[in-house]
Amino acid sequence: MRRLVAQTRLDPAELVLPVFVRDGIGEPTPIASMPGVVQHTEQSLLVAAREAVDAGVGGIMVFGVPREGDKDATGSCGLRADGILNRALRALRDDLGDGTVLMSDLCLDEFTDHGHCGVLADDGSVDNDATLAVYAEMAVAQAAAGAHVVGPSGMMDGQVRVVREALDDAGHQDVSVLAYTAKYASAAYGPFREAVGSSLQGDRRTYQQDPANRTESLRELRLDLAEGADLVMVKPALPYLDVLSDVAEVADMPVAAYQVSGEYAMIEAAAAQGWVDRDRMVLETLTSIRRAGAQLVLTYYAVHAARLLHSGAR
């Protein structure tokens, strides 16, 4: 009876698996703060991607981790066709074709020696407009490498418009833009910094949203919709379910949410202590994100959750 009348249902096709691929390693490298998640080699990434496809997961979001010596002030490694992210995208597209939705992180933080999401001005602040020019070039490079969806995540003003125009001008009209519409300056990103080998100096509060504020997310949403976003996203997910609900009520296009590294790490830590039932927590948290209005969820549990759902777990 509970199954019959359930108002919110999970399906593996609604889940997106974020993955990390690191240049210059010979075997997958565990991420200490994210038990069960690794930095992939280019070869192991293909295996993990096939596993996700076989489990019915709807998409894969790829993050590149360059060699430390390849980082510079402008993140140029992220634009190069032979850079780790674009190599990985090309290999995945060649292997999987259109068998899954291939997404790419469009940001500079992994590739800059200062760890910020954009190019810095002389005073050390992020130069919004100079960054937009780099994002435009990066978007075209990722589309050429095979991405179906690019995700500009840096929270620069005007980033969706610039990326959309650059893609269209380069003949990539069918490549979609996933707008990081409401990305908050959250403490929950800590494990992710380890995952991408972040070199961040300072913080990102000047360009990410204030956790105390709610209504500005709708302003960001209106801007992203006007600039040509194809999908919009709230990040993190669980601490911002109210924002997610607000966005879902207004948006007339697919809404995503990202269950970020800190959310994953908290479940894993509590489960390791025997304080919570891991599988039940996974499905409950994902269901709550769907219930709040997300049509798709980026989660490191994507494959695990898909297998639970296939087994009939609820």
Out of 40, 148, 183, 204, the active site residue is 183
Token output for 91? 């290999």
How far apart (Å, rounded) are the C-alpha atoms in residues 293 and 303?
21
DSSP assignment string, 157-218: TTHHHHHHHHHHHTT-TTSEEEEEEEEB--GGGHHHHHHTT----S--TTTSBPTT--THHH
What's the maximum distance between 2 C-alpha atoms anywhere in the chain? 64
Q: Where are the beta strands (DSSP E) in 8-152?
A: 15-22, 29-30, 38-40, 59-65, 101-106, 149-152
235 annotated active-site: yes
Is 71 assigned a catalytic role?
no
Q: What number of other Cβ atoms are within 10 A of residue 72's Cβ?
A: 13
Q: Are strands 29-30 and 38-40 parallel, antiparallel or unpaired?
A: antiparallel
Q: Which residues pair with 59 in a beta bridge?
A: 16, 101
- Rounded to an integer, what distance in angstroms lies between the CA atom of residue 104 and that of residue 19? 10
From 235, 247, 299, 304, active-site residue: 235
Catalytic center residues: 183, 235
